[in-house]
Structure 1
Amino acid sequence: MKNSEINTNLVDSYYVLLRNLSPDNKLELIARLSKSMKTTKKAKDNSWKSLFGALILDQSADDFVAELKRDRKFSRKSIDL
């Protein structure tokens, strides 16, 4: 199927779904669709690069690691048999 055929089928499917709406609802839908076409959306930077990076700390890496180790809490209890 070509892209234009898929789009035509999609439009036909929407028409079947929406043809029973009241005239007021149809006009509201037309207004919203027209408004959505007039506004432009900014492209978001969804790249994976934005998920990675270095921590920005006020302390050295060694101090940070030492603080993490010092603040660890273990809740596991040993059971003597």
Structure 2
Amino acid sequence: MKTTKLSDLSVDELKKEEKKRSSIHISYSVLIGFMIGTSIYATVKHGLTFVSILPLFFIPMNWFIWKSKKEVSKEIQSRKSN
């Protein structure tokens, strides 16, 4: 993935980036919700298994995605206030 500085992007590019990161965040949130439901079901049916703890590995990744989305939003807001 190509990383670019947010300060190098125009406002339109920042809005596109925010939309992209927002959709990624929503997708990961849905995936984690599904995994939590599956892990609860698997724990009730089969006891503690790898599937039971799998969501714990993805929650921090979703947090970083949410944080990067907030950084883009802050950059847009700072540009609007100037």
TM-score (norm 1): 0.23
Larger % of helix: which? 2
TM-score (norm 2): 0.23
Structure of greater Rg = 1
